[in-house]
Amino acid sequence: MFSILSRAGFLIYNHDQASGFSFSDISRAFLYGLKLDLSLSAYFLLLPIILLSFSFLIRKTILIRIFNIYSFILMLFSVFIVFIDFELYRNWGFRMDKTPLLYIQTPGEAAASTETWMMIVFLFSIALVSLGCYFAYREFIVAFWLKAKPVKSKKSLLLIFFILLMILPIRGGFGVATLNASAVYFHSDPFLNHSAINVVWNVGYSLTTSESERNYNYLPNETALSIFQELQQKNGQTQPILKTKRPNVILIILESFTSKIIGSLGGVPGVCPNFDSLCHQGILFDHFYANGDRSDKGIVSILSGYPAQPGSSIIKFPEKTQRLPFLNKELEKSGYNSAFYYGGDLDFANMKSYFVNGGYDEIVTLDDFPKDKMMGKWGIPDGILFDRFMKDIDRTKEPFFKAMFTLSSHEPFEVPMETVFIGNDEEHRFFNAAHYTDKCLGEFIRQAKTKTWWDNSLIVCVADHGHRLPGDSKLYEEIKFGIPMLWLGGALQISDTLISTYGSQIDIPRTILAQLQIDGSEFRFGKDIFDLLPEKFGFYVFNDGFGFANKEFTYIHDNVGDTTISFSGDISKSNVDKGKAYQQILMEDYREK
């Protein structure tokens, strides 16, 4: 009953998505979801039935006390997951699994994305519902136990047999394969399939299943490798766009800068006027994708050319990240010094271990600023970070590689600027925060043009990931992963240029190194965007799925149900296999790292 009511609550909370479906479709979500509901119930009942089997050996009052404690813990755990899932799904687009645990080591930063009033309401609701459930349990279930007689030793054998029967709902039947989320998928629309998932069961399943154990082998290994190698082949000739051999490289990673807020890319006009103006002063890429949907995935894609994983994040495993290639290391071999700047806590999402493994000469974080400079929940505002970035560049020996990561355009969108976009809804606050970061970027570029190092510098501006806003894009939609990339600087020999070649964040290291005539073969998953070979593509992953796009087609795949979410353009098995092969080789490499 709890699972059924939880599903109803999920549909009500996400009524804007549920309202587009018929009563029949919604009813089927409940019907198909019963498989996981029964499985969860069976898991929860195992311990009580075992204790009941030996209740003739245990005092009744002690047994009831154990049941009370056990039930209360399960209720609190389940209610907590259900309520957190309501809001997580609205923001992330997938049912809660172990993903939030990736950020549990830094709860302050994880909570910074949520407004204080909402956290208070959620915690109050969790406490209220938990107490309500426990009150109902005490009134109806405990009352029954008080009247019940202990199981006699001979009848305990019947309960032991019942324990064995519980294997059926736990496994989902007699089949060879154990129960997984795909068992409740019944519709072509992901939202209805997600509605059928029992979120408490899903969290438990996720915690007991590692990314390396999941099956991503859609094709024979030889076939997948052959397709991958064909996708990664190169001409060997690249279009030169720089006029200096060893330019300084400045990489500015912009938090949540989706293409949907860039007027020059068809986004909402006026949100980022400085970026739009700068597009006419450099090289703009208009078919560029983020490889993942969170910062920890985007950082690795940009700086190591390594694609995001659909159910994990390699940055959480230092033993794996130390085997990754790093753009700064390759540049250091050619005499560059390197630094990374971030105005927040680098311990968030385990990013610190990644940058330490990267061997940066200098890492500047929240701890390197006076406490009174911190504003908002995330850390140092972008304006102050850009000022520090500029001052340090001015006294750095050339050539240098410096990267910085902004944060002011992250939820909850608190910025030290007078409101430009009037409205307290989430979308307008996002516009306002992005407008502030855009203003800081514009001022940085204006100052940079007056510096002696400008003529020998390449500045790459790119987002860490896209965003569901504006428009509340779905988890998997191509438009959600579209991001801007803009190349600026006095080292460019061309300007006011639009590049429509398909690409993604993983192509950045190899493309930069190719312009500097430095070997980039270590970045095996990326490509040189300026390579004269015609076929290029964008690849991205979301939770348990991937998207693959090039000039001929766009294919979006659901890994759980092994189904096509959407396909446009040239639909053929060979095209579908390109995305599957790419993901398969990626996950094979991830497991081996």
pLDDT digits (tens, 9 = 90+) for 384-418: 999 999 999 999 999 999 999 999 999 989 999 99
- What confidence score (pLDDT) does residue 112 get? 62
Element (H, E) at 481: helix 478-481
Residues 195, 258, single domain; the answer is no
Residues 204 and 239 in one domain: no
Say yes or no: 379 and 495 in one domain. Answer: yes
- pLDDT tens digit string along 441-499? 999 999 999 999 999 999 999 999 999 999 999 999 999 999 999 999 999 999 999 99
pLDDT-wise least confident of 23-32, 439-448, 530-539: 530-539
Domain ends where: 161, 184, 209? 209
User: Mean pLDDT, to the nearest integer, of 3-13?
Assistant: 96
214 part of a folded domain? no
When pLDDT is averaged across residues 55-64 and rounded to a whole number, the result is 84
Provide the domain count of the chain.
2
Looking at the domain assignment, is residue 215 inside a domain? no
Q: What's the pLDDT score for residue 163?
A: 81
pLDDT at 114 over 70: no
> For 25-34, 91-100, 275-284, 339-348, which range has the lowest pLDDT when averaged over its residues?
91-100
Claim to verify: residue 191 and residue 237 sit in the same structural domain: no
pLDDT at position 145 over 80 = no
Phi, psi of 299 (to 5 degrees): -60, -50
Query: What span, in angstroms and rounded, lies between the C-alpha atoms of 408 and 291?
Result: 21
Q: What is the mean pLDDT of residues 54-66?
A: 85
Q: Give pairs for 22-26: CB < 8 Å, separation 24+.
A: 25/187, 25/192, 26/192, 26/195
At residue 234, the pLDDT reads 82
Same domain, 269 and 323: yes
> Which candidate, 155, 145, 159, 160, places its Cα nearest to that of 62?
145
Is residue 425's pLDDT more than 70? yes
Q: What is the DSSP letter of 482?
A: B
Query: Residue 2's pLDDT band (boundaries 50, 70, 90)?
Result: very high
Residue 381: exposed, middle, or buried by beta-carbon count in 10 A (0-12, 13-18, 19+)? buried
CATH number of residue 353's parent domain: 3.40.720.10
pLDDT reading at 512 higher than 70: yes
**Do 17 and 101 lie in a common domain?**
yes
Token pair listed for 582: 């790419």
Asked whether the CA dihedral 378, 379, 383, 385 is positive or negative, the reply is: negative
- State how far the alpha carbon of 287 is from the alpha carbons of 259, 502, 505, 507, 520, in Å: 10, 5, 11, 13, 22
pLDDT, mean of residues 188-212 = 90
In this predicted structure, what is the pLDDT of residue 175?
66
Supply the mean pLDDT for the chain: 92
283-285 and 248-254 beta bridge pairing: unpaired
The answer for residues whose C-beta is within 8 angstroms of residue 474's C-beta and 6 or more apart is 93, 190, 191, 468, 480
Decide: 299 and 405 in contact? Cβ < 8 Å: yes
How many Cβ atoms from other residues are within 10 Å of residue 177's Cβ? 10
- Is 121 inside any structural domain? yes
Residue-wise pLDDT tens digits, 247-276: 999 999 999 999 999 999 999 999 999 999
Residue 153: name the closest of 53, 60, 48 by CA.
Answer: 53
Look up the pTM and report it.
0.89
Of 79-88, 381-390, 433-442, 500-509, the poorest mean pLDDT is in 79-88
> What span, in angstroms and rounded, lies between the C-alpha atoms of 483 and 475?
15
